[in-house]
Amino acid sequence: MRLGSGICRVRDLRAAGCPVGLAVDGSASNDASDLLAELRQCLLLHRVTGGAAAMTVDEVLEMATLGGAACLGRDDIGALEPGRACDLALFDLDDPAYERVGDRVAALLLCRPTPAKAVVVGGRVIDPG
């Protein structure tokens, strides 16, 4: 959307069996390098162009995790499982932004994005600020 270069046909790619990953690559397309904001954009863009059923929160989260791993041809990342490498961000789902939301995981993408409370990269807790 930032570059004005169109909308990726995610549904068609996934239906054809192509791996689809979501990520941020810097200021060329995401000035804040905010993956959560990028996931939200993907969800809402596909819903506005194809209706509420065009994209689900679960699909977006899958593309950002297992889909990204598949795009890289890797089976050692992308999920919280024994034997896989893991970087992760932890969010406070008791934040008032999610107060009246039944599905708090979905709220991560449907509500105003909130900053991560903690980030773990390569097994080390780093300052998310």
pTM score of the predicted model: 0.84
CA 18/CA 84 separation, integer angstroms: 22
Residue 8: which residues within 8 A CB-CB, separation 6 or more?
20
pLDDT value, residue 13:
94
Q: Can you give the length of the chain in residues?
A: 129
Token pair recorded at residue 38: 């990028």
CA distances from 65 to 49, 51, 77, 86, 126 (A): 24, 24, 8, 10, 20
Q: Taking residues 24-31, report their average pLDDT.
A: 67
Strands (E) in the chain, as ranges, are 88-90, 118-121, 124-126
The pLDDT tens digits for 38-55 are 899 999 999 999 999 999
Q: Taking residues 26-39, report their average pLDDT.
A: 75
pLDDT value, residue 29:
59
The pLDDT tens digits for 69-118 are 999 999 999 998 998 998 888 888 887 777 777 888 888 888 877 788 89
pLDDT value, residue 129:
67
- In the structure, what pLDDT confidence band is assigned to residue 125 with cuts at 50, 70 and 90? very high
